[in-house]
Amino acid sequence: MVYEQGEEVLPGAVHGHRLSTVVPSSVTGEVDYPLSDADLAFKLHYLRGVYYYPPGDVTRGITTKVIKDPMFPWLDDYFPVAGRVRRDAADVAAGEGGHPPRPYIKCNDCGVRIVEAKCDRDMAEWLRDEAPGRLSQLCYDKVLGPELFFSPLLYVQITNFKCGGLALGFSWAHLIGDVASAATCFNKWAQILSGKKPEPTVLTPENMPGHSPAGATAPRSVKQVGPIEDHWIVPAGRDMACYSFHVTEPTLKKLQQQAAVATGTFELVAALMWQTVAKIRGGVETVTVVKNDAAARSGRALANEMKVGYVEASGSSPAKADVAELAALLAKGVVDETAAVAAFPGDVLVYGGAHLTLVDMEQVDVYGLEIKGQRPVHVEYGMDGVGEEGAVLVQPDADGRGRTVTAVLPRDEIGSLRAALQDA
Amino acid sequence: MSSPPPPLGNNGLLKNVHRFVAAVAVPLAAAALAAAARLLPQEATSGWLRDARPVHLFLAVFLPAAAATVYLLLRPRAVYLVDYACFRTAPNCRVPFSTFLEHAKQVPALNERSIRFMTKLLERSGLGEETCLPPAHHYIPTYKYCTLDAARGEVDLVVFGALDDLFAKTGLSPSAIDILVVNCSLFCPTPSFVDMIINRYKLRSDVRSVHLAGMGCSAGIVSVGLARSLLQVAPENSHALVVSTETITPNYYVGSERAMLLPNCLFRIGGAAALLSNSPSKARFRLKHVVRTLTGAQDSAYACVFQEEDDVGNVGINLSKDLMTIAGNALKANITAIGPLVLPASEQLMFAAAFIARKVLGGGRFRPYIPDFRTAFEHFCIHAGGRAVIDELQRSLGLSDEQVEASRMALHRFGNTSSSSLWYELAYIEAKGRMRRGDRVWMIGFGSGFKCNSAAWECIQPAANAEGPWATCIHRYPVDIPDVLKH
């Protein structure tokens, strides 16, 4: 038992947290970063991404200073990430509508929070355990609020394992950008660390608020909540946890063979998860689908441009349906509601709000975060602020042939999920 | 392995030999001159020369010559500044306003009122958004990581950074340093700063070293004065290293007493190293005067900047409300002392006349005459203690905006770096290319005590380029400093 500051630390837990701040290296000046309607739709969600680096000589040379020093010029390019949320005092519409003024980002160079922590276990052991909730130990689990004006948009946790392995945990407010923006942002930091000059960061054209019809009902993909004041998290009625597991290449091949036509890997894996959760829970006739379409992106470095829609299982219950059938539905039957979700003026939960949410991260280059030439041995992305219905994130794995899946579900469903997956 | 000590004894002996030779040669020459005068043809010399007694003639030549020789031999040696270097703050130590305030909010001792007070202070302080704090102060909560190790780390960063720069600039080997004077007021570890420098740069075992602690923000000039005194009795071609810095790490005030929160807001990381010598070779400035005024005999001046514990036991520096008045009085005393040394005769006469008039005809009729120091100096380096200090001095000395620009801009870019601020200001003037050969510089420092110290320099060789702490940002200066900074 280790005692720290008079508190007991459970063996194997992550402890010794030291917080500091990193700011942009040059003065940004009086700049405001407006948030788009799509940005505000995702404000209640937080990405939690962990990158694991194996023990070795290279990793031993990755000290806190080596990690921090490139962040200063990195934040010169990504200065909105170092800013803080403010509310637009000149928002006339707010006064009339009776809701709080529109938020924006004040680029005041306040900075990004860095957390240094230790773990007395071996990283290999930690990964093998596949413990649910391990993500929240390696990512600082803060959200925006209750002191909204003093909440960082990004936390980076540096966890050193006993064996010398290193875990980098990113806690990113979904408000400022989707998972593709986040992964590109982190990759750029790694490029600066390696001494490469990254591509210029494009933050134009400026976000313009859309004009939404007042009093519209929430689109089917999402669930209306709130009104949310200054604490941007909706406490789920049940205790949610992130559980990451690997879908092997043989499993994928088997799923592909079962499908009549060539189907995308995301659709197959997502369909499998849909069916499994339906078996555990019952129901789940409708799912929300969030996809990343690289071709349709505007090229802005920070943007929420994922496509949001829903799929209804027609006829038979998903628990009894064929995986191939569900996959086909996911491929063709998605009703796109992206614009409607953005335009809706109220506060919504996109992930896990109205239905189980299936997230496509196929085209997100998470394994590109190379530090001094060292590729991560494993990457997993989970999420906080997910509603009770849960979410499933389908991501690339280390060699690109299988898939890593993170299921964000109520903790008591995770046991059943593990069992069901073992049988499959 | 230290090199063998230089032949100090030999140099001293040589000096005495010179004195003996001069003492013998002068009267001999005088006697010879007197004798020769008598032997010249009668037409060439005037009557009284012939009629004068030999002894009188001898004395008439010998006495003035002897006096001149004695004066030349005994006058204090001139001291020169070979070069100086300031610690270049790195962007990874930068603390913008918003970060400073966000960190302050996490300190449990600081309540809403204290945070509001610090916010108002920062907005009106004249500091910019690029000032830097030591690495330990970037942690939350700040005071938890301000260990002795962290303080030494800051010294490593600042002092060794400035010294590395200085040795590179001057090309001097550390083993050629004969005198080492360091001043750092609030951090006094054992072994001291001078020992840290000796250890790091492998200085000689006979270096004359002194560390000045507790002497406040004007200690930079105190160090220069001390180095000058040591150089004047040292052998020819001696070198003295003067290091001025203030270590911020151990001095974060963790309480809520408002007068004691001021230093937290204003003091920033900084340091400077200067190489002085008693030989003019390669020198860039000549040190003309060092005038120190101490007003500690008065209780109010003594207690004006006072390190003490607050009601709860937290240690901090308490700044009294009449700081500006006391500073003004100390300045008047210092001006009265330095005026006669630097002002031209015309100004001195005007000052004397006004002084007499006030005394004779009553103080009400005549306002005190403020001598125009712009006739004595081309450049002014006023300690960047805070916006109020610079404003007050500009007003009392009647200086233009351009003359206090160096002080204002140093405060904006670097914050209050305590005793090294004068060197950052000198670096600003040189980086702007405003220094010319023959220009005179006045450095004025203020500090606890209450002390007002002045140093007067004359430029021999301006800097060749803008290399130094201002290199990356001089093109952006001067900036317009708003009354209230928006953040």
Asked whether residue B41 carries a pLDDT value surpassing 80, the answer given is: no
- The confidence band for B14, taking pLDDT boundaries of 50, 70 and 90, is low
- Structural domains in chain B, CATH included, are 79-342+377-466 (3.40.47.10)
CB contact under 8 A, A19 and B92: no
Query: Range of A100's domain?
Result: 14-206+223-423
Mean pLDDT computed over every residue of chain A:
89
Q: Which among B404, B477, B381 has a CA at the least distance from the CA of B84?
A: B381
Containing A409, the helix (H) or strand (E) segment is strand A403-410
pTM, to two decimals: 0.89
d(CA B460, CA B83): 11
CB A105 within 8 A of CB A145: no
Residue A79 lies in a domain: yes
CB A89 within 8 A of CB A101: yes
| C-alpha neighbours within 13 Å on the C-beta side of residue A341 | 30
Segment among A306-320, A388-402, B435-449, B459-473 with least mean pLDDT: A306-320
* DSSP code of residue B469: T
Q: Which residue of B has its CA nearest to A21?
A: B138
ipTM here: 0.90
Residue A218 lies in a domain: no
Which among B92, B128, B129 has CB closest to A69? B92
Q: Which residue of B has its CA nearest to A149?
A: B102
- The confidence band for A95, taking pLDDT boundaries of 50, 70 and 90, is low
Specify the 3-state DSSP secondary structure of A282. coil
Distance from CA of A114 to the nearest CA of B (A): 9
d(CA A329, CA B436): 81
Which residues, in sequence order, are bridge partners of residue A154? A172
Q: Which residue of A has its CA nearest to B100?
A: A110
Q: What is the mean pLDDT of residues B24-40?
A: 72
Best mutation target among B106, B116, B123, B138 (most A Cβ atoms within 10 Å) is: B138
Residue A3 lies in a domain: no
- The confidence band for A262, taking pLDDT boundaries of 50, 70 and 90, is confident
Which residues, in sequence order, are bridge partners of residue B291? B454
Name every residue whose Cβ is closer than 8 Å to that of residue A66 and which is 6 or more positions away in sequence.
A193
Burial class (CB in 10 A: 0-12, 13-18, 19+), A350: buried
**A110: contact with B, CB 8 A cutoff:** yes
CB contact under 8 A, A21 and B92: no
Q: Which among B376, B375, B377, B407 has a CA at the least distance from the CA of B391?
A: B407
CB contact under 8 A, B97 and A108: yes
Q: What is the mean pLDDT of residues A182-205?
A: 90
Q: In what order do the strands lie in the sheet with A166-173?
A: A378-384, A46-53, A166-173, A154-161, A112-119, A14-22, B139-140
**A25: contact with B, CB 8 A cutoff:** yes
Residue A8 lies in a domain: no
Q: Which among A179, A220, A239, A187 has a CA at the least distance from the CA of A355?
A: A220
CB B417 within 8 A of CB B248: no
Specify the 3-state DSSP secondary structure of B329. helix
d(CA B50, CA B33): 13
Residue A37 lies in a domain: yes
pLDDT of residue B4: 46
Chain B hits for A19, Cβ within 8 Å: 139-140
* Type of residue numbered B151: A
Segment among A266-275, B44-53, B90-99 with least mean pLDDT: B44-53
* DSSP code of residue A374: B
pLDDT of residue B111: 87
- The confidence band for A284, taking pLDDT boundaries of 50, 70 and 90, is confident
Residue A110 lies in a domain: yes
CB contact under 8 A, A20 and B98: no
Residue A277 lies in a domain: yes
Chain B hits for A68, Cβ within 8 Å: 92
CB B481 within 8 A of CB B412: yes
Domain count, chain A: 1
Asked whether residue B282 carries a pLDDT value surpassing 90, the answer given is: yes
CB neighbour burial string for A269-288, b if at least 16 within 10 angstroms, e if fewer: bbbbbbbbbbbbbeebebbb
CATH number, domain containing residue A289: 3.30.559.10
Chain B hits for A69, Cβ within 8 Å: 92
Percent of chain B with pLDDT over 70: 90
Which among A18, A27, A150 has CB closest to B129? A27
Q: What is the mean pLDDT of residues A313-339?
A: 87
Q: What string of DSSP letters covers B385-453?
A: S-HHHHHHHHHHHT--TTTTHHHHHHHHHH-B-GGGHHHHHHHHHHHTT---TT-EEEEEEEETTTEEE
d(CA B163, CA B448): 26
Asked whether residue B450 carries a pLDDT value surpassing 60, the answer given is: yes
Token couple for A329:
């539905």
Residue A6 lies in a domain: no
Asked whether residue B73 carries a pLDDT value surpassing 80, the answer given is: no
Containing A224, the helix (H) or strand (E) segment is strand A223-225
Q: Which among A194, A201, A189, A247 has a CA at the least distance from the CA of A51?
A: A189
**A23: contact with B, CB 8 A cutoff:** yes
CB B469 within 8 A of CB B304: no
Phi, psi of B111 (to 5 degrees): -95, -175
